[in-house]
Amino acid sequence: MIVLGIESSCDETGVAIASTSNGLIAHALHSQISMHKEYGGVVPELASRDHIRRILPLTEQVLIESGLQKEDIGAIAYTAGPGLAGALLAGSSVAKSIAWSLQVPAIPVHHLEGHLLSPLMDSPAPEFPFVALLVSGGHTQLMQVNDVGNYKILGETLDDAAGEAFDKTAMLLGLGYPGGPALSRLAQKGNSRGINLPRPMLHSKDLDFSFSGLKTAVLTINKKMADETLNSGNIEQRKADLAAATEQAIGDILIAKSIKAMRQTGMKTLVVAGGVGANSYLRKNIKEQVKLINGEVYFPPLEFCTDNGAMIAFAAVQRINKNLINWADLSDSFSIKPRWNLTDICTFNNATI
């Protein structure tokens, strides 16, 4: 079966085509970064309107690249949640309309499941079971992944996500939007020596995270350093040093908790997915730490770390191949789930979407 996937949960419009027999065939992505940049963050109304403008042109693009016709499509997969309500509704409405016009089913896909399974698109791909670190602008979770749809939450953030900590620090340092990549680039010019930032919950017995205390510490140290360097003309180096210290603190917490999760589950494979998974400090150091316990770590290709349509089409294909789609129960309404819990789609109780 050929599946068209549509992603519209936040500020990227992604469309892709995947096959139940051949995997990913073609994909296209439009980022709204330039539109939201002047506002310092995502404006939900603007995001929703832009998704409506972009989905159909991107669909035509992937059809041309794949060499397929719209009549070849056997199902439409779309992000039903979690995400911004208006943005999700834009994608859902277009997806359901296309599905109705082609007389094919529309499959709701969980955004985080898309991220979770995205490393399977690479080669070599990880084998089940594995521990997964889902880390992005809005989510930080550790999952035990036994199979497609069979997940268990091991730990999650109690407040800010790691990506939010990156973005808020970047805003504090005047780096603009998007903050995470900008902070990472600045950190490469910095030296964290002498800046002691806390690692909240680093030694807690559980696998949960907390980043709000770190954010407060960065705010306090930034003010102190600003006062000290006010007359020294060394403000830019101060920013770089604090960026490096922040990146290392966040990375150290994520790495330590991931290793602890592997030890507790006895699993030797770790998957890191989500936008923060592209961070160079995290990638380099988590590889080293996993290697020390004779484990392996997998990342999605860099182009699939951020939100994209490929992971939505691919996740739907994986569920189809595992017979996890209840075709008779798919709704025709434009229903969305902005706060959809990942465990709601698990198969522990033989429940399916």
Residue with tokens 């079966």: 1
Residue 23 pLDDT > 60, yes or no? yes
| Burial bucket for residue 88 (CB in 10 Å: 0-12, 13-18, 19+) | buried
Mean pLDDT for the stretch of residues 240-269: 97
H helices within the chain, ranges in order? Answer: 33-37, 44-66, 85-102, 111-117, 162-172, 179-187, 212-229, 235-265, 280-292, 309-321
Q: Where are the domains of the chain?
A: 2-116+305-345, 127-299
Q: Would you say the C-alpha torsion 62, 309, 96, 331 has a positive or negative sign?
A: positive
Q: Do domains 2-116+305-345 and 127-299 have the same CATH topology?
A: yes
pLDDT in tens, 116-127: 999 999 999 999
Residue 222 pLDDT > 80, yes or no? yes
In this prediction, residue 142 has a pLDDT band, given cuts at 50, 70 and 90, of very high
- Kindly state the percentage of the chain with pLDDT values over 90: 78
> What six digits make up the tokens of 203?
């030694």
pLDDT in tens, 175-200: 988 888 999 999 999 999 889 999 99
Q: Which of 3.90.580.10, 1.10.260.40, 3.30.420.40, 3.50.50.60 would CATH assign to domain 127-299?
A: 3.30.420.40
Q: What is the structure's pLDDT at 349?
A: 35
Instruction: State how far the Cα of 63 lies from the Cα of 71, in Å rounded to an integer.
Output: 10
- How many Cα atoms occupy the beta-carbon half-sphere of 184 within 13 Å? 20
Q: What is the structure's pLDDT at 153?
A: 94
Topology of the domain comprising 2-116+305-345: Nucleotidyltransferase; domain 5 (3.30.420)
Q: What is the structure's pLDDT at 233?
A: 62
